[in-house]
Amino acid sequence: MHNKNNWIALNTIWIKECTRFLRIWVQTLVPPAITMSLYFVIFGSLIGDRIGQMGGFTYMEFIVPGLIMMSVITNSYSNVSSSFFSAKFQRNVEELLVAPVPTSVIIAGYVGGGVARAILIGIIVTAVSMFFVDIKIHNLGVIIITLLLTSSLFATAGLVNAIFAKTFDDISLVPTFVLTPLTYLGGVFYSLTLLPEFWQIVSKANPIVYMVNGFRYGFLGVSDVNVTVSVSLLIAFNVALYLVAHMLLKAGRGIRS
C-alpha cells in the first residue's frame, strides 16, 4: 500500500508538471522551434556554405546535434526552476512537505516533468532540422542515454536553483550567466580540434562539452572526447545533484522560514 501511494503521488506531480507546460504550449514549445530554425538558417545555410566541412561532415550536419542538445539543456532547466519556484512563491509546495510523500518522490516528479518537456522539445527541434539536413543516426542507444541523463541533470539543477531563489530574477541568473556561456563554449558550433592545444584542455573542463559530444557521437559517430567518459560523468553529476537536492528539500532550505 505504501508503494502504491508513492506511485500515485509521483504520477500526480508528473502529470501536473506536464499539464503545466502543455497548457501554455505556445510559450513553451513553439519558441524553441522558431529559435532553432533561425540557427539553422543563419549558421547552417548562410555561414555553413562558407565554412565547408567539419569533422568530415557538412557544417549543418555537424551543428544539428549540438543545437538539439542546447534546446534540451535550456528547457529542462527552465521548466523545473520556474515551476518549483512558483509553487514555493505561492506557498503550495508546503503541502507536499507536510504530506506523507518521500522527498525522492517529489524530486522525481518535478524532474520527470522537466525531462518530459526536454524530450518533446528535442523531438520538435529534430523534426525542424529535417527540413534543412538529412538526419543520420550512428548509435541510437547513445542518443537516448545522453538525452535522458542530460535532461535529468539540468532538471535537477533547475530544482536546486529554485530552492535557493528568493525572487523570480534569481531563477534567470544561472541560465544567463552560467548556462548560456558554457553552452556556446561547449562545442555546439565548432570542433575542439580547431582550438590550440591549451584551449582544448581548458574546454574539457566545461561539462557541457561532454554532453554535446556524446550526443553528436550518437548521430554522427564522431566525438572530441571519449564517449564512455561522457556517460560516466553524466551519471556522476546526476547522482551528486540528486543528493544535493534531496538534502536541501529534506532540510526545508529556502522553504521553511
Walk along the chain (257 residues) and give the pLDDT tens digit of each residue.
Answer: 467 778 888 998 999 999 999 998 988 899 988 988 888 888 766 777 777 778 788 888 898 999 999 999 999 999 999 999 988 888 777 777 777 888 899 999 999 999 999 999 999 999 998 888 888 899 999 999 999 999 999 999 999 999 988 888 788 888 888 888 888 888 888 888 888 888 888 899 999 999 999 999 999 999 999 999 999 999 999 999 999 999 998 887 767 65
The two beta strands, 57-58 and 53-54, are antiparallel
Q: Specify the pLDDT at position 256.
A: 61
Candidates 193, 13, 214; CA nearest to 103 is 13
**Domain extent listing, the chain:** 2-251
Burial class (CB in 10 A: 0-12, 13-18, 19+), 64: buried
C-alpha cell at 68: 538539439
Q: Specify the pLDDT at position 55.
A: 74
Q: Specify the pLDDT at position 1.
A: 45
Q: Which amino acid is at 14?
A: W
User: pTM for the full model?
Assistant: 0.92
* Cβ–Cβ under 8 Å, residues 116 and 14: yes
Q: Specify the pLDDT at position 141.
A: 94
Q: Specify the pLDDT at position 2.
A: 64
For helices 207-220 and 227-251, the axis angle rounded to 10 degrees is 130
